[in-house]
Chains A and B, each alone.
Chain A
């Protein structure tokens, strides 16, 4: 797959590290510091990284982990500025996926290929279309998977006893309960629009195989038509939308609206444990299909410590780390490993892993999961929603 133009950026010497035998990588990494840039907004995730991952990296590999906040476009902006200034890199490891991966590859800001050389890469569930393709892009060894999530709506079963199970029923529910539904303006809200697009315009298959503007226009028109039909019954009459998912959760928790939503099917569980959502909040999948995607780790092209970054990525892919991350009281983030490939005793432990009593079953998740499509769909849908819907608030 063509990843856009590599504009003759000089290949850094650190590229040599990715070709070394694994034992040499381990030796190089020992005693080093790895700077990992990641989203730091969730205390559960922070606790997993700071209190579980970091001490094990010191003990097992002699690696000191330094975590700095940053995500998505912020990472791209930073690496572009660093390159322009000819400055030394400030980051080794990056938590990325989808459009960020596309931008970084287009700007030749990722080191690679290295991901397939990790010893634990052999356990990855490469048969899963969710993991093997990142928004239809071939990771190509430039990023290593470390988790997967599926989109879910959130409802409160104390308020809505029989929630709508598909997009048509949702539309009818909205009309019957004016002012009780909305979505946010950020990434998760736009992902919800993409779910509508799949449901209303012929399923995920219609949009696969790269960006197709004809398919897009047809899909977009269906989405905007659906929104236009129901928006008068949205929260605030569809005149304004919450900025992000945090605002959406706040409206939901305080009973201003009856649904929230999240990119992660288990967010409802962690947020209930944190006291942010009411205990009666539950996840909900629509039978038309929900988007599922994986998230990955990349190494920046100007990384000072690529060897250390590879070792950290490998550790995070280990059955030990993947199992810990999966636990509902830790993070409840989906594993990217194929259980049939991993050795005992880990296989048994994965099988026996207890789930939260309100979590969705793996079967149901698998049944409803739909893969992401090319990042352009997301970008165009966002732009057109802002122009066609948001900017035309009913008076």
Chain B
């Protein structure tokens, strides 16, 4: 007799497969399709204009792809470092301090981007960082740090600091403890936090638009513009470019974590 969870698992797998790859397949078709009108199930004409804007000469999407990548990696790493410290600090607080701390970490996550963007842009402009990639990086850090702080708040709340305490008792300095105990023990969490911060940056539209003053072009901005102009083919190509690199990152991470407890897919 087959148990109920087994039946559920067998039923869910195809749905997950569909949820994962059907969207990518549809985007792929749109990115090479032309003259694709109701009721046709497949495009009338196959045409590679979309991909030429990515790979060909004068490739307009390439600089945007590079800007997005640089921003995502920088934001991910910086937000991981910040989140680890802020999260552990707030996790160690008690009583109302902890409630306030957790509330503060929620703020950038809960605030609509427009609420952050305009005021931040004004401040950045005043500091001479307006409409530059550095300004956009700082803007992306705001929600990314919120997410990583919340993430580490959760991690450190359930984690006991026994090993660090032991190391300190044995005379290790603060930096030594971090370098030799905390980092090796938390490799998975740290990498996941980088990924989390990077993904927050990777998908940003509103913050990039306002803080970058339109001058910093990232892939989501290009996709949004194409969409608003009804250029579905180019928008689909850009969307695929947005989907593929993080999947590769997942794969690399999976290899990097082979010896660590596998949580990530």
Q: Is B58 in contact with A276, judged by CB distance below 8 angstroms? A: no
- On whether A43 and B130 interact (CB within 8 A), knowing A78-B214, A246-B228, A278-B37, the answer reads no
Q: Is A41 in contact with B35, judged by CB distance below 8 angstroms? A: no
Name the distance in Å between A90's Cβ and chain B's nearest Cβ.
Answer: 4
Q: Is A87 in contact with B130, judged by CB distance below 8 angstroms? A: yes
Q: Is B60 in contact with A46, judged by CB distance below 8 angstroms? A: yes
In the complex, A227→B114 CA distance in Å?
A: 34
**B47 interfacial contact with A, CB 8 Å:** yes
**B217 interfacial contact with A, CB 8 Å:** yes
| Set of chain A residues within 8 Å of B226, measured between Cβ atoms | 41
The total of chain A residues at the interface (CB under 8 A) is 38
Q: Is A78 in contact with B213, judged by CB distance below 8 angstroms? A: yes
Which of A10-18, A68-76, A166-174 faces chain B? A68-76
* B-contacting residues, A1-59, CB 8 Å: 35, 37, 40-43, 46, 50-51
| Set of chain B residues within 8 Å of A209, measured between Cβ atoms | none
| Set of chain B residues within 8 Å of A202, measured between Cβ atoms | none
Q: Is B37 in contact with A253, judged by CB distance below 8 angstroms? A: yes
| Set of chain B residues within 8 Å of A90, measured between Cβ atoms | 130-131, 213, 215
Name the distance in Å between B196's Cβ and chain A's nearest Cβ.
Answer: 29
Partner of A85, one of B58, B122, B221: B122
| Set of chain A residues within 8 Å of B118, measured between Cβ atoms | 77, 81
Name the distance in Å between A117's Cβ and chain B's nearest Cβ.
Answer: 28
Name the distance in Å between A73's Cβ and chain B's nearest Cβ.
Answer: 12
Q: Is B230 in contact with A51, judged by CB distance below 8 angstroms? A: no
In the complex, A249→B126 CA distance in Å?
A: 42
Q: Is B37 in contact with A255, judged by CB distance below 8 angstroms? A: yes
Q: Is A41 in contact with B229, judged by CB distance below 8 angstroms? A: yes
In the complex, A86→B124 CA distance in Å?
A: 11
Q: Is B125 in contact with A245, judged by CB distance below 8 angstroms? A: no
Name the distance in Å between A256's Cβ and chain B's nearest Cβ.
Answer: 8
- On whether A37 and B126 interact (CB within 8 A), knowing A90-B131, A246-B228, the answer reads no
User: Which of the four size classes fits the interface of chain B?
Assistant: 20 to 34
**A274 interfacial contact with B, CB 8 Å:** yes
- On whether A255 and B60 interact (CB within 8 A), knowing A70-B214, A85-B130, the answer reads no
| Set of chain A residues within 8 Å of B213, measured between Cβ atoms | 68, 70, 78, 90
- On whether A51 and B58 interact (CB within 8 A), knowing A43-B234, A275-B35, the answer reads yes
* A-contacting residues, B84-129, CB 8 Å: 118, 121-123, 125-126, 128
**A84 interfacial contact with B, CB 8 Å:** yes
Q: Is B38 in contact with A244, judged by CB distance below 8 angstroms? A: no
In the complex, A246→B213 CA distance in Å?
A: 24
| Set of chain A residues within 8 Å of B215, measured between Cβ atoms | 35, 68, 90
**A320 interfacial contact with B, CB 8 Å:** no
**A327 interfacial contact with B, CB 8 Å:** no
| Set of chain A residues within 8 Å of B123, measured between Cβ atoms | 85
| Set of chain B residues within 8 Å of A347, measured between Cβ atoms | none
Q: Is B34 in contact with A37, judged by CB distance below 8 angstroms? A: no
Encode contact with B along A241-253: 1 for CB under 8 Å, 0 otherwise: 0001111011001
Encode contact with B along A226-270: 1 for CB under 8 Å, 0 otherwise: 000000000000000000111101100111100000000000000
| Set of chain A residues within 8 Å of B47, measured between Cβ atoms | 275
Name the distance in Å between A40's Cβ and chain B's nearest Cβ.
Answer: 6
Q: Is A42 in contact with B229, judged by CB distance below 8 angstroms? A: yes
- On whether A244 and B214 interact (CB within 8 A), knowing A85-B122, A86-B126, A87-B130, the answer reads no
Q: Is A275 in contact with B228, judged by CB distance below 8 angstroms? A: no
| Set of chain A residues within 8 Å of B122, measured between Cβ atoms | 81, 84-85
| Set of chain B residues within 8 Å of A278, measured between Cβ atoms | 35, 37
| Set of chain B residues within 8 Å of A279, measured between Cβ atoms | 35
Partner of B225, one of A40, A51, A81: A40
* B-contacting residues, A59-98, CB 8 Å: 68-70, 74, 77-78, 81-82, 84-87, 90
Q: Is A246 in contact with B125, judged by CB distance below 8 angstroms? A: no
**A105 interfacial contact with B, CB 8 Å:** no
* A-contacting residues, B15-72, CB 8 Å: 34-35, 37-38, 45, 47, 53, 58, 60
**B227 interfacial contact with A, CB 8 Å:** yes
**B231 interfacial contact with A, CB 8 Å:** yes
Other than A246-B229, A250-B230, give 14 A-B pairs with Cβ distance below 8 A.
A68-B213, A68-B215, A81-B121, A84-B125, A85-B125, A86-B125, A87-B128, A245-B230, A249-B230, A253-B37, A255-B38, A256-B38, A271-B230, A274-B231
Question: What residues make up the interface of A, taking CB atoms closer than 8 Å to B?
Answer: 35, 37, 40-43, 46, 50-51, 68-70, 74, 77-78, 81-82, 84-87, 90, 244-247, 249-250, 253-256, 271, 274-276, 278-279
Query: 13 A-B pairs, CB-CB below 8 angstroms?
Result: A37-B214, A42-B231, A43-B231, A51-B58, A70-B214, A81-B118, A82-B125, A245-B230, A246-B230, A250-B230, A254-B37, A254-B38, A275-B47
Question: What residues make up the interface of B, taking CB atoms closer than 8 Å to A?
Answer: 34-35, 37-38, 45, 47, 53, 58, 60, 118, 121-123, 125-126, 128, 130-131, 213-215, 217, 221, 225-234
The 6 closest A-B pairs by CB, nearest first: A41-B229, A246-B230, A85-B125, A275-B34, A87-B125, A254-B38
